[in-house]
């Protein structure tokens, strides 16, 4: 069984990395989140990390924003091994995610990944 942890070095940290994914990547939206996907070419060293999580101030106080980012992180963590390699992702929480259940956010994340071609059409293999 694979270890389901999300390493710190796999996360985007710098604002410039986020901006690059926003500018050059494609976006896919659902009710709970927006998924930005940027294809990283092998050998490219300008983008360190694979995934970033964001929640804007429009979502509410810090407690709500942290909860939304935690839901996004958990959805990614559970399915990171199913995703295609060489992609940088940014997951941005939307207003509906504030009151959403984890399962709803997870299903939305998987649907967007299928739409973006990051995982197979049949869905998650548990």
Which DSSP string corresponds to 26-64?
EEEE-SSEEEEEEEPPTT--S---SEEEE--GGG-SHHH
**pLDDT bracket for residue 1 (50, 70, 90):** low
Handedness of CA 6, 52, 60, 105 (dihedral sign): negative
pLDDT digits (tens, 9 = 90+) for 83-121: 988 899 999 999 999 999 999 999 999 999 999 999 875
Tell me the average pLDDT across 10-27: 92
Helix (H) and strand (E) counts in the chain: 3, 4
125 pLDDT exceeds 70? no
**pLDDT bracket for residue 77 (50, 70, 90):** very high
What pTM did the predictor assign?
A: 0.88
Residue with the bigger pLDDT between 96 and 41: it is 96
18 contacts 12 by C-beta, under 8 angstroms: yes
């Amino acid at each position: 069984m694979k270890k389901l942890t999300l390493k710190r070095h796999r996360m985007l940290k710098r604002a410039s990395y986020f901006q690059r994914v926003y500018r050059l990547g494609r976006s896919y939206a659902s009710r709970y989140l927006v998924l930005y996907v940027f294809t990283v070419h092998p050998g490219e060293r300008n983008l360190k990390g694979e995934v970033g999580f964001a929640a804007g101030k429009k979502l509410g106080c810090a407690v709500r924003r942290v909860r939304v980012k935690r839901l996004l992180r958990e959805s990614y963590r559970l399915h990171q091994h199913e995703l295609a390699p060489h992609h940088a992702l940014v997951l941005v929480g939307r207003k509906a995610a504030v009151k959403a259940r984890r399962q709803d956010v997870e299903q939305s994340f998987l649907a967007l990944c299928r739409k973006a071609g990051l995982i197979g059409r049949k869905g998650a293999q548990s």
